[in-house]
Amino acid sequence: MKLTEARIDHALNQLNAQVPSTQALPENHPITDQLSDVFGDHTFFFDAGGLTIIEPAKPDDESASLGQVIKLASWIDDARTKLAPHPPEYTAVVVELDRAA
């Protein structure tokens, strides 16, 4: 799911309260196209654990008011420079999206 700038900002405020140091990957970053080729068209986030996305908490609802954080890849080095993709891991982290729609 691609998020609007307002939804990204709103999600980051909540994520950083639950998962400190979370950052959104800028849409114009050179790696965004590669990540989209592998994982689909999403807004990507990085944190201490790896690469995540936010999907509607209710399947098939792109206008969902709640989004669930899904981990797609984990860091494989202490310097956090290399990621290893893995099957999606649904986390317990849920963010509110509707106020920033």
Give the chain as a 3 state SS string: CCCCHHHHHHHHHHHHHHCCCCEECCCCCCCHHHHHHHHCCCCCEEECCEEEEEEECCCCCCCCCEEEEEEEEEECCCCCCCEEEEEEEEEEEEEECHHHC
Whether 101 is covered by a domain: the verdict is no
Model confidence at 24: pLDDT above 90: yes
The model's pTM is 0.88
pLDDT band at 77 (very low <50, low <70, confident <90, very high): very high
Residue with tokens 């290399």: 82
Give the pLDDT of residue 22: 93
Which whole number is the average pLDDT over 68-78?
Answer: 95
Q: How many domains does the chain have?
A: 1
Percent of the chain at pLDDT > 70 equals 91
Whether 36 is covered by a domain: the verdict is yes
Give the pLDDT of residue 11: 93
Domain with 42 in it: 5-96
